[in-house]
Structure 1
């Protein structure tokens, strides 16, 4: 039995385990403690998008003609979206693959803890770290690059559902791709490569107006491109819409694509997730 389950059992004062939700809360607290105890990993994970933003925004600072925004301001929402996907897709995909390789998942599966509690723990970890990272990125964008916070409730509502749907879709894809690496040692290469490619063809590092149409079409099949576009709509003035291929923010299409990826990601998880390595049978 895991330490999480033992503590939860003691908290109930009976021999019966609490429900998956309560165990998931305990599991989430454990995941967060483990994450922040590895200080080098925590600092690197939270600081990498900020460092990349600083580098790109320092190199590309010119105003974009006819939009009222600078190239630096365009990078802020794009890097924010990339940070959300880093937390939900990259970090989660690698960590689960490593835990599977180290037999952590197999041991957890043999305990009375409901499987849902494990995933709820990951949800809390991803949610808290994504909120922290987004807050840091937003603070840097407002302070250093003149990005203005939305004035109306409608924009904040749009930010909320883009954040929730985008993070959910990315986290489900992270869980699904965690079953692809054959070992924990290969997980970083397997997960980082497609994410790196997506960042280049989704408008994170390069303006969508300069990406070849066929590459942008491939990027449009995945959540990151739509998260970048939606967050640009939230934090940039309406005049910046002209930079989008459709000439508008397309919030309806963004919602449909992200919701579709949430459903598709869940299906992929159900079909592909494994508690043990292939070599274990």
Structure 2
């Protein structure tokens, strides 16, 4: 009796993993960053709630007009929108990146096949989404409670858009750059928070900018927040208020120039100072 040999089984074909495109990778990382942010209740409450709390407090204390048809509350709201965008980008990144670096998260990211730009893209997506949500919330509260008038022309909405985009870009890049100054996770807040608070006090957020000492105005003019506030005032305040600005107008061309210059400066600082590991790791 003869037996027929069975043919040897062919080896299983290797399974092919679907490679994600650049856009999908960036969006996936952005979703991860948003999830991590939302899980931190302290960050969510501070980032989203602090500007609204400040508006409620200052509106209850100051109710006078600072110019015909312009109340202090209206002026303050525009500054808080700019400060809120800076908090979402500059302050949050400057505090959280040192924490991730100290925990070894960035070191592990660098050791994976994932392109490094994906990590940065995730941070940018998080900043943009949270910034839009916070700004929308501030505008809703301001319109409902403090009679803030929304822009009535497409031109003003366009100005609002480019001032916000340039401002957030500059603050995001500067937040990534300043994160390298913190030696440990605990020192991140100590490094970034005083800088953010000082800029808010001298840039026309809490007080009318032209009422500040001239040397404070000159120092504030070196940094983005002052120009973000000035650009947003051109959107939400009457055209006549431009004469009360230091330059006699809202100077939107200079606003664009300074914010664009800070985008370049921030990018250079990121490229030259950013660290994936702590100093003790080398």
Query: 1:214 offset after TM fit, Å?
Result: 1.1
Query: 1:37 offset after TM fit, Å?
Result: 2.2
Distance 1:60 1:255 in 2: 31
Equivalent residue, structure 2, for 1:201: 202
Equivalent residue, structure 2, for 1:183: 184
1:133 lines up with 2:128 in the alignment: no
SS at match of 2:180: coil
Query: 1:92 offset after TM fit, Å?
Result: 1.0
Query: Please, which runs of 5 or more residues in structure 1 have no aligned partner?
Result: 1-12
Give TM-score scaled by structure 1 length.
0.92
Equivalent residue, structure 1, for 2:79: 78
CA contact (8 A) 1:85 1:167 kept: yes
Query: Please, which runs of 5 or more residues in structure 2 have no aligned partner?
Result: 1-14
Give TM-score scaled by structure 2 length.
0.92
Match of 2:66 among 64, 67, 78: 64
Distance 1:129 1:258 in 2: 21
User: 1:147-162 residue pairs with structure 2 within 5 A?
Assistant: 147-162=148-163
User: 1:48-63 residue pairs with structure 2 within 5 A?
Assistant: 48-63=50-65
Query: 1:17 offset after TM fit, Å?
Result: 4.0
Distance 2:207 2:66 in 1: 13
Equivalent residue, structure 1, for 2:270: 269
CA RMSD of aligned residues (A): 1.2
SS at match of 2:280: helix
Count residues in correspondence: 268
Per-residue CA deviations over 1:1-37 (Å, capped at 9, x if unaligned) read xxxxxxxxxxxx8346434432121111011111112
CA contact (8 A) 2:91 2:175 kept: yes
SS at match of 1:64: strand
CA contact (8 A) 2:200 2:225 kept: yes
Distance 1:14 1:93 in 2: 39
User: 1:27-46 residue pairs with structure 2 within 5 A?
Assistant: 27-46=29-48
Report the structure number with the largest CA radius of gyration. 2
Moved over 6 A (4+): none
Query: 1:54 offset after TM fit, Å?
Result: 1.2
Per-residue CA deviations over 1:110-129 (Å, capped at 9, x if unaligned) read 00010000000001100000
Distance 1:41 1:153 in 2: 34
Query: 1:97 offset after TM fit, Å?
Result: 1.0
CA contact (8 A) 1:21 1:120 kept: no
Select between 78-87 and 14-23 the one with higher mean Cα deviation.
Answer: 14-23
Distance 1:185 1:109 in 2: 22
CA contact (8 A) 1:85 1:224 kept: yes
